[in-house]
Every structure is written in C-alpha cells, then in structure tokens.
C-alpha cells in the first residue's frame, strides 16, 4: 500500500501547483481567544444549559449530600459503574454489592439499568460532560444503560470547549478515547421529529458536588 | 431526447409524496440553522477563522497528510492509503479476512457511500448493518441517502412505517418514536455481536492525530466502543490543523447541520484502547481515501474541499427543495454535490449538475466556511462549454446571438419584433402554446409570461417626456 501512498502524495504535489484557493479576508486572525469566566458564572451557565438540554440536575452542598443523592438515584436498580475507587466524594464507601463493573461480560453490562460515572471535565457553555477513557472507566458505562448518572466536581468546570482543549492537552493525549456528552441520546431522522434515547441513554442525570 | 438526469428531475417533480417529505424536512431545518448560527458569539469571525484553517490545510495537503499520518502511527493506529474506492474496499476486506471478522456495524459515513463499501462487504459474505437510524432505513429500502445529514429527507413517516412493517415484520406505525424504538431493538443486538466497526470521520486533527466523530443517537459511540476492530474511512481533505481549530469547527458544524450548539456526542479518538482498558477497539485502522479529491485540488474548484458536510446548502437551495437528493444521481446531493460529483466522477458524465442551480447565492450565504459555491458552479459551466462537445445548434445559436448582442440598434429592433410576436401568441397574458425549435424545452414544462406593452427604456423615455 506504500505504492498508493506515493501515488497520492505525488498527485497532491502536482495538484498544488494549479490549485485555485482563495485568500482569506484581510485581517483574519490565525486563531481566536475566548475569555474564561468566573466559577460562579460557569456554574450558573452549566445548570442553565443542562436544563435546556433536558438533563436532570442536582446541586449538592457537601460530599455527604452527593452520596445521598446518588444512593437515592441508584437504589434497587441494576447498576453499571466506573471502578468505584475512581468516583469522587468517596462514593465507593456507600455503593454496595449490586454494582456491575465495566469488566463484566457485554451481556451483563447491557442488562444494567443505570450507568454511574464521574466526570473528567465539564463545559459550561454547552452543558457538556467530558469523559476520558482509561482503566476502570469503561466507555460502555455512559453508553449502554438507559440512564446515565454523572457526578461532577464544581472545580472541573471550564467555560468553553476551547478552554478545556487548551488547558488539558496532556490529559487528552494520554487517553485513547474522549467522549463529550451533551444531553441525552437523540434522533430526528424521521421527519425531524425528536426522539430521545435511541442507542445511548435517553435520560441523563448530573449531580454537581462542592 | 431526454437525459437520465432530466428523467430523474421529471420523476421528482411529479412525486407528490416526495414534496410532502422535503417540505417537512428542509423548511424546519433551514430555519433552525440560521437561528443557531446567528446566536453564536462572534459568528462572522469564527467562520472566517475556520475557513482560513481549511484553506491552510489545502495549501499543503500532502504535507499535512504526512504529519497527520505520523501522529496516527505514534498513537498506535495503522494507516492505509487508497487511491480510489475499490482500493479502499479491498483494504477493509483484507483487514476483516486476516482477523476472521464477520459481523460489521457501520456508523454514518458519506465516504463509504462513495466507495459502495456495503455491497463489497456483502459480496464477500460479511454481515453489514447500518446503525444510524436514517441510514438503517435507507439500507432496509435498498436505497441511497438523499441528504447529507438527513438520509431519509425524501421519506414521510408513513413511508418509514410501511417499510419497517414489510422488511422487519413489526406492526405498522406512523409514530416516529415507535419506529425509532423498533430500530433500537434490532440494532442493539447487532452492536453486541459485532466484531468490526466502520465509521467515517468528521475531522482529523493534524497536530495530535485525533479522529473526531460527531453523532446524536449514540450509534457512533457503539460502533467505536464495542467491536474488536475499528476502521475509519476518511477523505484526505477532512483535516484541521489544531485542537483549537477543531473547537471552532465543532461550534459551526452542529449549528449549521441541525441547529444544535453541539451534537449529543462528540467522540475524540486517539489510538486503540490501552492494554489495561475494559472497552474500546484493540485495533484502530485509518484509511485515507483520495478517490478523485487530488484531481479536484488541481483546479478551479479546489475550494470545495473545505466543505465540512453540514448540509446547510441543501436546505437553502431552491433546486434541492424541489427535486430532492436522488435526482442528483450520486453520493452528494445539492449545491455541494453539483460541484463535488463532477469533480470526483468526471465532468463528461455529470455535466448537467452545474446547471442545476439558479445561482441565487443562498448556498454561499448559509455556508459556515463561506465557500463560494456560485463561483465554482459558473467555472464548471465554463469548463463544460470549453471542454465538452456542444451541440451544433447551440454553437451556431450563440454565434448569431453574439452578432446581434454586439449591435445595439439591430438588437433593439429585433427585440421589438420578438415582443410583438409573443404578444400576438399570448392568451390572457400568457403564452401557452407548445412551440417547436429552440424554445421547445422551455415551453414543454412552463408557460411564458407575455412581455409588457412597453419596455423599461420606452417607459422611462415616455415618463421623462411627460414630467
């Protein structure tokens, strides 16, 4: 296949000589800077965007409140989770044996009702959750169950995606898969009529801790 | 004699059902897009910078591809180069054969529509399932997508209900939610059993070797998470320079495509799963597809390679809204297709597409990267005249017209005669007769408004004289 590579690159070299490409508008900068915002502003915007997306949101004042909230949400349901040790607010201490881990068989995972994850970052401007893949953080957890519960630490909020990309280059480089989740799974393929929960979770719940 | 293109257009214009579906789809989508783009902070500047980033890529596409390849390899991905669709399909079949992969799930990909990958896989005995809802329905109907982001823009909900009833044996319904539920059930099973996932790519980031995929349903995530092997088929033009640029493109893509700020899922892939990870593909392959793109780069329409496939120009185009996507006859419909298809497949067989436009410029207005689509359409029309054989009648006709047009006095006299003639033919203000000769094509499908009694210039002189 290196033959194809050489052929294509040679074609491109030739093409480049006659290519007609328009110049940019005079004064167009090479990149844009987007201002970051205060933590309060980020939090307010994050909640507003989540609500607009149809995401259930809980703002909790203490770690104990977060644990109680999560317990209420998952009690009695088949639960697929990140490795509990990787969840914030010592959630591991209260999650009991009904938990299914990301390393169970696919069928067991697919039978779970709730997926519980932490969150590596969150984007206020778009109401997005950023999940980086890694050991104990199976990508299936936020994907297979019909409900996804994500626990977000207030300190992990960025205002914009651009800010997150800029400040987290190294973390992004270490992770094979980064999933940015903005609201529930949706389709409008049939006559643009909105349906939630096609393949991913139709219900997304965000618990924001201190 | 009417051409296959004209035949498809005729069929589309006479299809009442198609117009119901198209009206429901394009009207809503067009409105949402323009709203969404206008609410973006600094949207003009964002579009300018995004455009600049694309043109920067295209000004050294080979060099950028080599850098991108280097990053992919460093990330642990395997890179393949394909000169055309057949080569791309062969590469993918080889990957499947060597590893004994049999069950394929696919994410939405225009590049693999272009290469007819599904047919090639099926012929080799592999099971292939399209998993985007629209594409799944297209596959059930054994048809082709008619819109870049809304594959079944040509179907009503009733059409979908009848199709599913026939093909997968579910009770008829015209409720989109119920229909989506049927598909979910069927596809869930396919996801869990699949061993090969194939997707396109929305963007490839040169700086980091990141593959970016955006989806709403979550099928793209399934395809890139569950199967053992993931193959990405991407056109060589889909690069952006840096992650900062990717941010700008994400800002404009969803807004221009569906009117969302961001699609539900943005997936950034940087290599196969790490050895200690519980999920994700063990192998990641990237197939870089030329298939005519280098030829487009060499010419007047090179700019079109900056297209990010948002579909906004389709919803804005008065021609698309009337004839739908299938009439364009190939993978890419609408204004973008009218430029890309002749570029990829050759102008000779696709010379009518650049004419399928009113040059109203609506496409250029809505294009998030400000591609000058009308300029490129005109340039292709010019190529048609200069490079392709033209009918004798047309050549003589243009000569004769040129003779009159360059002699104003003669031209005015002749125009007056023509006006008098048409007014004599008209009934109740319209010329409805079918006439033979040069105007036959025009008159076959529409009536001609009779000319006014006086021309503008005559009126102007008369008024000035009177006032």
Least CB–CB distance from A198: residue in B65, B133, B372: B133
Q: A155 vs chain B: nearest CA distance in angstroms?
A: 22
pLDDT for A133: 96
A64-96 pLDDT per residue, tens: 999 999 999 998 888 999 999 999 999 998 887
pLDDT surpassing 90 at residue B429: no
Considering chain B, what percentage of its residues have pLDDT values greater than 70?
Answer: 98
pLDDT surpassing 70 at residue A103: no
Give the confidence band of A7 by pLDDT, cuts at 50, 70, 90: very high
- Domain final residue, candidates B293, B313, B330: B293
In chain B, what residues touch A133 (CB-CB under 8 Å)?
273-274, 277, 279-280
Please give the C-alpha separations between residue A158 and each of A47, B119, B263, B269, B350, in angstroms, as whole numbers: 13, 45, 18, 21, 49
| Any domain includes B434 | yes
Considering chain B, what percentage of its residues have pLDDT values greater than 90?
Answer: 74
B92-142 pLDDT per residue, tens: 999 999 999 999 999 999 999 999 999 999 999 999 999 999 999 999 999
Please indicate whether, in this complex, the C-beta atoms of B273 and A14 are within 8 angstroms of each other.
no
Q: Locate all alpha helices (DSSP H) within B346-455, ordered by sequence.
A: 362-366, 373-387, 392-405, 408-425, 440-445
Give the confidence band of B466 by pLDDT, cuts at 50, 70, 90: low
Please indicate whether, in this complex, the C-beta atoms of A15 and B297 are within 8 angstroms of each other.
yes
pLDDT for B1: 66
Give the confidence band of A55 by pLDDT, cuts at 50, 70, 90: very high
Q: What is the CATH number of domain A44-186+195-209?
A: 3.40.50.10420
Lowest mean pLDDT among B294-308, B375-389, B411-425: B411-425
Cα–Cα dist A33/A31, whole Å: 7
A197-208 pLDDT per residue, tens: 999 999 999 999
| Structure-token pair, residue B370 | 């400000």
Q: Note which residues in 273-332 of chain B have CB less than 8 A from chain A.
A: 273-274, 276-280, 288, 290, 294-295, 297-303
| Any domain includes B379 | no
pLDDT surpassing 70 at residue B288: yes
Give the confidence band of B51 by pLDDT, cuts at 50, 70, 90: very high
- Domain final residue, candidates B245, B269, B293: B293
A106-147 pLDDT per residue, tens: 888 888 999 999 999 999 999 999 999 999 999 999 999 999
Give the confidence band of B438 by pLDDT, cuts at 50, 70, 90: low
| Any domain includes B399 | no
pLDDT surpassing 90 at residue B453: no
Residue keyed to tokens 């990909």:
B109
State the distance between the two ends of chain B, measured CA to CA, in whole angstroms: 54
Mention every residue, 6+ apart, whose C-beta is less than 8 A from residue B163. B137, B140, B141, B155
Q: B274: burial class by Cβ within 10 Å (0-12, 13-18, 19+)?
A: middle
Whether the complex's predicted ipTM surpasses the cut of 0.90: yes
Where do the domains of chain A lie?
44-186+195-209
Lowest mean pLDDT among B69-83, B98-112, B410-424: B410-424
pLDDT for B27: 77
| Structure-token pair, residue B100 | 């004994």
Q: Is any Cβ of chain A less than 8 angstroms from the Cβ of B337?
A: no
| Any domain includes B310 | no
pLDDT for A98: 61
Q: Which H or E element spans position A71?
A: helix A63-74
Q: Is any Cβ of chain A less than 8 angstroms from the Cβ of B62?
A: yes
Lowest mean pLDDT among A13-22, A76-85, B299-308: A76-85
pLDDT for B145: 92
- Residue B145 and residue B268 in one domain: yes
- Residue B415 and residue B284 in one domain: no
B202-220 pLDDT per residue, tens: 999 999 999 999 999 999 9
Domain count, chain B: 2
- The range of the structural domain enclosing residue B446 comes to 407-466
Q: B48: burial class by Cβ within 10 Å (0-12, 13-18, 19+)?
A: buried
Give the confidence band of A22 by pLDDT, cuts at 50, 70, 90: confident
| Any domain includes B339 | no
Q: What is the CATH number of the domain that holds B170?
A: 3.40.50.10420
């Amino acid at each position: 296949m290196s033959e194809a590579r050489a052929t294509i690159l040679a074609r491109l070299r030739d093409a480049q000589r006659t290519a007609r490409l328009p110049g940019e508008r005079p004064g167009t900068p090479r990149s844009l800077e987007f201002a970051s915002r205060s933590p309060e502003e980020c939090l307010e915007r994050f909640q507003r965007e989540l609500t607009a997306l149809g995401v259930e949101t809980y703002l909790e004042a203490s770690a104990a409140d977060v644990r109680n909230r999560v317990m209420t949400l998952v009690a009695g349901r088949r639960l697929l989770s990140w490795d509990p040790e990787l969840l914030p607010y010592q959630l591991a201490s209260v999650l009991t044996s009904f938990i299914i881990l990301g390393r169970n068989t696919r069928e067991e995972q697919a039978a779970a009702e709730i997926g519980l994850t932490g969150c590596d970052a969150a984007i206020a401007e778009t109401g997005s959750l950023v999940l980086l893949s890694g050991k104990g953080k199976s990508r299936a957890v936020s994907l297979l169950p019909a409900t996804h519960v994500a626990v977000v630490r207030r300190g992990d909020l960025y205002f914009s995606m651009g800010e997150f990309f800029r400040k987290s280059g190294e973390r992004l480089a270490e992770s094979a898969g980064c999933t940015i989740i903005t609201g529930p799974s949706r389709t409008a393929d049939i006559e643009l009529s909105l349906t939630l929960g096609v393949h991913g979770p139709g219900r997304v719940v965000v618990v924001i801790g201190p | 004699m009417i051409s296959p293109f004209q035949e498809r257009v005729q069929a589309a214009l006479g299809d009442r059902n198609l117009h119901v579906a198209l009206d429901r789809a394009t009207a809503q989508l067009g409105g949402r897009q323009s709203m969404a783009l206008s609410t973006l902070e600094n949207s003009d500047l964002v579009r300018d910078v995004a455009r600049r980033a694309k043109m920067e890529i295209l000004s050294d596409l080979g060099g950028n591809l080599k850098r991108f390849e280097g990053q992919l390899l460093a990330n642990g991905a395997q890179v393949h180069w394909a000169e055309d669709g057949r080569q791309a399909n062969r590469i993918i079949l080889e990957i499947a054969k060597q590893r004994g992969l049999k069950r394929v799930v696919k994410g939405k990909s225009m590049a693999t529509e272009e290469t007819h990958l599904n047919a090639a896989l099926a012929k080799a005995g592999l099971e292939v399932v399209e998993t985007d809802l629209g594409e799944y329905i297209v596959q059930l109907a054994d048809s082709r997508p008619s819109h870049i982001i809304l594959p079944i823009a040509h179907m009503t909900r009733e059409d979908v209900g009848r199709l599913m009833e026939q093909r997968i044996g579910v009770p008829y319904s015209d409720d989109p939610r119920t229909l989506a539920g049927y598909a979910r059930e069927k596809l869930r099973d396919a996801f869990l059993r699949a061993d090969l996932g194939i997707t396109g790519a929305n963007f490839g980031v040169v700086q980091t070797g990141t593959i970016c995929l955006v989806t709403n349903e979550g099928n793209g995530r399934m395809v890139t998470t569950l199967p053992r092997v993931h193959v990405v088929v991407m056109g060589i033009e889909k690069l952006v320079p840096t992650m900062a640029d990717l941010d700008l493109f994400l800002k404009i893509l969803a807004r221009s495509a569906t009117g969302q700020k961001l699609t539900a899922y943005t997936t950034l892939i940087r290599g196969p799963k790490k050895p200690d990870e519980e999920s994700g593909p063990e192998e990641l392959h990237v197939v870089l597809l030329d298939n005519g793109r280098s030829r487009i780069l060499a010419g007047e329409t090179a700019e079109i390679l900056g297209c990010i496939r948002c579909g906004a120009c389709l919803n804005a185009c008065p021609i698309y809204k009337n004839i739908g996507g299938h009439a364009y006859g190939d993978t890419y419909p609408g204004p973008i297709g009218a430029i890309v298809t002749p570029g990829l497949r050759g102008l000779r067989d696709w010379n009518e597409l650049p004419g399928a436009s009113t040059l109203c410029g609506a496409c250029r207005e809505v294009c998030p990267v400000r591609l000058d689509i009308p300029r490129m359409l005109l340039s292709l029309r010019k190529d048609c005249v200069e490079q392709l054989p033209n009918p004798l009648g047309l050549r003589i006709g243009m000569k004769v017209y040129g003779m009159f047009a360059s002699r104003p006095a003669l031209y005015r006299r002749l125009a007056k005669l023509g006006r008098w003639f048409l007014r004599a033919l008209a009934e109740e203000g319209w010329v409805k007769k079918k006439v033979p000769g040069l105007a036959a094509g025009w008159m076959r499908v529409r009536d001609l408004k009779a000319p006014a009694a006086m021309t503008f210039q005559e009126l102007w002189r008369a008024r000035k004289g009177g006032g």
